[in-house]
Structure 1
């Protein structure tokens, strides 16, 4: 069922952030989040960092660690061990540029009435937050929603999930993100995690959608329970540029606090 009240981008305010958490608007854009000089140094540092690649058809480079990759692992400590190494790779990039994750946290704290911080797991420590991606070939339609994607982690207690991305470099043409207002509510079976990547297009048939461009220097935030996809760079794109971003998820916990993880 469609829930958006309009099909527009909105500025970051307390009211708009709550509306996005409630899936009432399609997106928030923070224009001029970083200067052109900051974008250039971040992009250069990311491209020369420890880039790995997901095992999916479209080539997606990344630096960092996704909790989703450990969704089936009953020993949560394995994920938090991986977090330590992932932070080293991230800090290598940040040490040569700047920290978009902390900057985003501060901007959220300035408008949100409850606490905002990196998520943590009792007795195991902080989650990883801030995956760098190079995704000029696009990303297939998928959803991200921890209560359905993840078993037995603290983040499964959230009631809303957003995703934010800071774009340090864009291809100029293509690389667009399309979000479909068809909140994911799959049939669930006890102890199983439903497929959430490479979704069938019938799930979004007839649903309103919103498409945004990855403009370098900006942050865009949207509700990731809605199916979303990224188009590949198109003809006419600058061959010397990639779609370089860093981002994470933002979840609302039962006490209304916001927590970040990737």
Structure 2
């Protein structure tokens, strides 16, 4: 994969989206994606929704369903059954605020020359897209790339993977995302899925890095094959606020269309 040509985030255009898919730039930021009033409504609805927690050391609350949790599951229908329940929890939040997922797809469609839609699995239906997270304690170093993470699903045919997050609330200090320009390419054995969370920092040693703040109202998009991590809130952070976001992955299929899933 190409390396970054500079360390600056760019606005969303057809050219910048192509560059990000090619890993030529570190990130795209869509400023003022939502108003202050929309952010407040979304954050309030998320905090009072059906929040669950991942079984990792740092406490990460979420609403929705991650396909990654079903990567070992031989019966794909179990994931799509879980999707139906997850959509109910998401709808509860969106019905009390607004729909960032649809708005993001509309923004992508305005600049991308091929189709943009939620991913589908033949015979099973649509994937889930749009995980809400409350992650003020940070997120450990990890990478996301479906051809390595998810070998038995149709999304494994993508050739590039991005992640986008809309931030409805930020703590004011900390909660920074650092992306390392060291595309993940672990040793692979037939039938095995390598560890992708809690990665050793040795794999990114010496790589260029890009760090961005989760500014409320903005969307940030980056290439998730690059290992990335989120810092915890720092002294000076507003303890009444959390790092509230919603996002998903964006993959490019062989026909050049873009598909979303979480």
Give the TM-score taking structure 1 as reference length.
0.99
Is 2:10 the counterpart of 1:23? no
Q: 1:172–1:238: 8 Å Cα contact kept in structure 2?
A: yes
1:148 corresponds to which residue?
148
Is 2:56 the counterpart of 1:56? yes
* SS of the residue 1:40 aligns to: helix
Is 2:186 the counterpart of 1:181? no
Deviation at 1:103, TM superposition (A): 0.1
Cα deviation, 1:139-181, whole Å, max 9, x if unaligned, reads 0000000000002100000000000000000000000000000
2:126 corresponds to which residue?
126
Query: What is the alpha-carbon root mean square deviation over aligned residues?
Result: 0.7
* SS of the residue 2:16 aligns to: helix
1:68 corresponds to which residue?
68
Is 2:6 the counterpart of 1:13? no
Q: How does 1:20-169 map to 2 (within 5 A)?
A: 20-169=20-169
Corresponding pairs, count: 262
2-structure distance, mates of 1:257, 1:18: 12
Q: 1:118–1:127: 8 Å Cα contact kept in structure 2?
A: yes
Deviation at 1:51, TM superposition (A): 0.0
Is 2:245 the counterpart of 1:245? yes
1-structure distance, mates of 2:152, 2:141: 25
Q: 2:65–2:86: 8 Å Cα contact kept in structure 1?
A: yes
Q: 2:172–2:238: 8 Å Cα contact kept in structure 1?
A: yes
Q: 1:38–1:98: 8 Å Cα contact kept in structure 2?
A: yes
Q: How does 1:207-246 map to 2 (within 5 A)?
A: 207-246=207-246
Gaps of 5+ in 1: none
Q: 2:12–2:29: 8 Å Cα contact kept in structure 1?
A: yes
